[in-house]
Structure 1
Amino acid sequence: MKVELRNLQIDDYKQLKNSMMNAYPELENSYWEEHHINKLLSLFPEGQLVVLADDVVVGSALSIIVPEKMAYRIHNYKDITGNFSFSTHTADGDILYGIDVFIHPKYRGLRLGRRLYDARKELCEQLNLKSIVFAGRIPMYSKYADELTPREYIEKVKKKEIYDPVLTFQLSNDFHEERILKNYLEGDTNSQEYAVLLEWSNIYYDDSPKLINLTKSVIRLGLIQWQMRSLNNLEALFEQAEFFIDAVSGYGSDFALFPEFFAAPLMADYNHLSEAVAIKELAKFTEAIRDKFQEFAIAYNINIITGSMPYQNGDHIYNAGFLCRRDGSNEMYQKIHITPNEVFHWGITGGDTIQTFDTDCGKIGIVICYDVEFPEQIRLMADQGMNILFVPFLTDTQNGYTRVKHCAQARAIENECFVAIAGCVGNLPKVNNMDIQYAQAAVFTPSDFAFPSNGIKAEATPNTEMTLIVDVDLNLLKELHEHGSVRTMKDRRFDLYELKKRK
């Protein structure tokens, strides 16, 4: 599935209408007329958002800007929208008022609504508005109206004693209630025409507005130090992987990084075979793992680097992984430099593509374990504009880990980039050639005054299953490149030497 979040266009109207009718089956005339959408787009085009799945509009968030006094006083839906004329909208207002948000029922559960809310928050910050305000329906209230007042109902929802699909979701997105509104939306019998006025405050609001940099510079990395354990089947692997993806996504991570060959426990069923045959059996799971991780990337709104796994193409077995983007796209990367052990036991073939990847957080590079010990490959990627290098690895001894660690640190310094590494830990009985593991996930930086003096942004506890959540600021790399104490990328002697790909 391909997911896209963008501004609404009038050509989207038919799909918008269809999704809205499906989202509100209990409400009569539950969709905006085309002339309403035209008016919104003419008044405030940047405030109208849609989310698409495979190029079909499946959800939307519509907004206007109103004065603060209007947003917080007692009102109903007709009042706040100017009897659906949107005459209440003013560019001089203080509040981003949400007049609608919905997701087609078929696409609920993928956290697409959360994307719309996050985009609204970004818009509020970019426009330097005080807050987001809207009146949320409470569609489950009719079932409790005989025994609970609206206030009592809201308290039970807050305590998670009652699940309300609208209010529960809004509270989980950092909104808090301001007041209860009576007779808010005519015909909303499920809510008994009550609504809850909700607010999200913009902590970055500035009374003296300045130009806001719309480009995201601080990127959050979620590194997964994976414990090797016996797994009964593929579903058990997915369950464990989803646990970690959910955890790092819950902290707002932009990337989740898995280690090299983290799916190796699935080879236990083939341990009676030779290593070369067992690795081919493991390769049969690769496409299913890629597809499931792509689903996770969409559902948890996070870019996932799947570590690595065997990938069979014809007669060759490659050590490969996938960048699963949260927009629904994915790309493969392959290990280029193959260790003697991989060749001897598994017959792994090296890839032949040196590349970087575009993401919504800038350009990144991905290399697998042994690759990081070859500076030429990483330098070529840095020349393509890479800011963050991800290194999934698998090392059995502390000696092997030391090579990966110190080479990764060197790559960060010489290429003026951040380097994130993550590996497997623990023991794996009954899988030949995968007995013991040693790892310590870490994020390394260049070495200058804006960075840690030892070039280590953060490290996990060695040989213990855990996650590592780290923020990196890309603006620091720009400053380093232009004004650093030393400038390794700019001070190269191209008059004496050059480095280039053969193809």
Structure 2
Amino acid sequence: MVSFTVAAAQYPIDRLDSWEAYEAKLTRWVEQAAAQGAKLAVFPEYGAMELASLDPATMGDLAGSIETVSALLPRVDALHGQLASRTGLHILAASAPRKDADGRFRNAARLFAPNGKSSVQDKLVMTRFEREQWDIAAGATLRVFDTALGRLAVSICYDSEFPLLARACVEAGAEVLLVPSCTDTLHGYWRVRIGAQARALEGQCYAVHSPTVGEAAWSPAVDENRGAAAVYGPPDRGMPEDGVLAVGVEGAAQWVFAEVDTAKVAELRADGGVLNARHWSEQPGAVALPPVEVVDLR
């Protein structure tokens, strides 16, 4: 059982003039989180799309932007690995389109541990925009990650709105659900926020929500970004009455910090005011859950 500080990014999409500008920005953000005592830093869905601005010839083209960012992923991941090792942080990198051997792109969130280990969670359910305009393919594997901070799971944006995905992770022991998002309207933000809070309620666990924010008129992918970072828990004993441990100012570029104590997850699942996690199977129509792969990052 572990108590630690988590940092959820309200991350602005910037137009970058060089790789060095990106490296300096990311380093500054990670160092700020570490300076505030965070042990886990969570970046949003598609935050990596700002890297498309490094190629002015293609940044205004959706397909070209996706290709540019995917090609940079090895370099991006090497930087995240170095920062995780140097600062002692676990870092969920901003998700990015990754081109796979089949020629399709998938939306990949990568989790880096300070010990040099890393792994990936792909988005499993695509939004209409991803299906109809981005041509992003769905991932196939649901994972939970054993870390020095506890057992973590990742539910990328729209995935958080589908309860069986998070439920499968809870059944596999997940204590903290990381929810990176990218939404261009407050309708979208609230869908993800309500999903994250519902998953925290159902699973009697924490949910850490990190969105993109700001405007990037140059980008056909992430031109408008609305949301507020937050950390949620189940509204039960030892937690805030509304389940909101911390929430940011909508639209601001900032970190949002909260204390996470996985012992409380165990306590509430064993003897909470309600026992949502234990009673899930009593629902009429409860169905078989998708398989979950356990990845050891300890």
For residues 229 and 274 of structure 1, do their structure 2 counterparts lie closer, same or farther at Cα, with a shift above 3 Å needed? Answer: closer
For residues 234 and 343 of structure 1, do their structure 2 counterparts lie closer, same or farther at Cα, with a shift above 3 Å needed? Answer: farther
Q: Give the AA of the match of 1:409.
A: Q
For residues 477 and 276 of structure 1, do their structure 2 counterparts lie closer, same or farther at Cα, with a shift above 3 Å needed? Answer: same
Q: Does 1:500 pair with 2:285?
A: no
Q: Does 1:247 pair with 2:44?
A: no
Q: Name the structure 1 match of 2:18.
A: 233
| CA displacement at 1:301 relative to structure 2 | 0.7
| CA displacement at 1:273 relative to structure 2 | 6.2
Larger Rg: 1
| CA displacement at 1:455 relative to structure 2 | 0.9
| CA displacement at 1:236 relative to structure 2 | 1.1
Is the CA contact 1:394–1:424 (under 8 Å) kept in the aligned structure 2?
yes
Q: Matched residue of 1:263: which SS?
A: helix
| CA displacement at 1:220 relative to structure 2 | 0.9
Give aligned-pair identity as a percent.
26
Query: TM-score, structure 1 length as denominator?
Result: 0.55
**1:92-491 matches, cutoff 5 A:** 215=1, 217-268=2-53, 269-271=56-58, 274-314=61-101, 315-491=103-279
Is the CA contact 1:231–1:265 (under 8 Å) kept in the aligned structure 2?
yes
| CA displacement at 1:422 relative to structure 2 | 0.6
| CA displacement at 1:328 relative to structure 2 | 0.7
Question: 1:318, 1:233 → 2: CA distance?
Answer: 25
| CA displacement at 1:458 relative to structure 2 | 0.4
Question: 1:289, 1:266 → 2: CA distance?
Answer: 10
| CA displacement at 1:278 relative to structure 2 | 2.4
Equivalent pairs, count: 288
Query: TM-score, structure 2 length as denominator?
Result: 0.92
| CA displacement at 1:494 relative to structure 2 | 5.4
Q: Matched residue of 2:14: which SS?
A: coil
Question: 2:264, 2:62 → 1: CA distance?
Answer: 46
Q: Matched residue of 1:490: which SS?
A: helix
| CA displacement at 1:424 relative to structure 2 | 1.1
Question: 2:281, 2:48 → 1: CA distance?
Answer: 44
Question: 1:405, 1:353 → 2: CA distance?
Answer: 23
Query: Which consecutive unaligned segments of at least 5 residues does structure 1 have?
Result: 1-214
Query: Which consecutive unaligned segments of at least 5 residues does structure 2 have?
Result: 293-298
Question: Residue by residue, what CA displacement relative to the aligned partner does 1:297-330 show, whole Å, maximum 9, x if unpaired?
Answer: 0001110000201111121101002111001111
Q: Tell me which of the two structures has the higher relative contact order, counting C-alpha pairs closer than 8 angstroms and 6 or more residues apart.
A: 2
Question: Residue by residue, what CA displacement relative to the aligned partner does 1:364-390 show, whole Å, maximum 9, x if unpaired?
Answer: 001211110110100000000000000
Question: 1:272, 1:400 → 2: CA distance?
Answer: 24
Is the CA contact 1:426–1:437 (under 8 Å) kept in the aligned structure 2?
yes
| CA displacement at 1:399 relative to structure 2 | 0.6
For residues 234 and 251 of structure 1, do their structure 2 counterparts lie closer, same or farther at Cα, with a shift above 3 Å needed? Answer: same
Q: Name the structure 2 match of 1:19.
A: none
Q: Give the AA of the match of 2:192.
A: V
Is the CA contact 1:413–1:447 (under 8 Å) kept in the aligned structure 2?
yes
Is the CA contact 1:270–1:281 (under 8 Å) kept in the aligned structure 2?
no
Is the CA contact 2:80–2:91 (under 8 Å) kept in the aligned structure 1?
yes
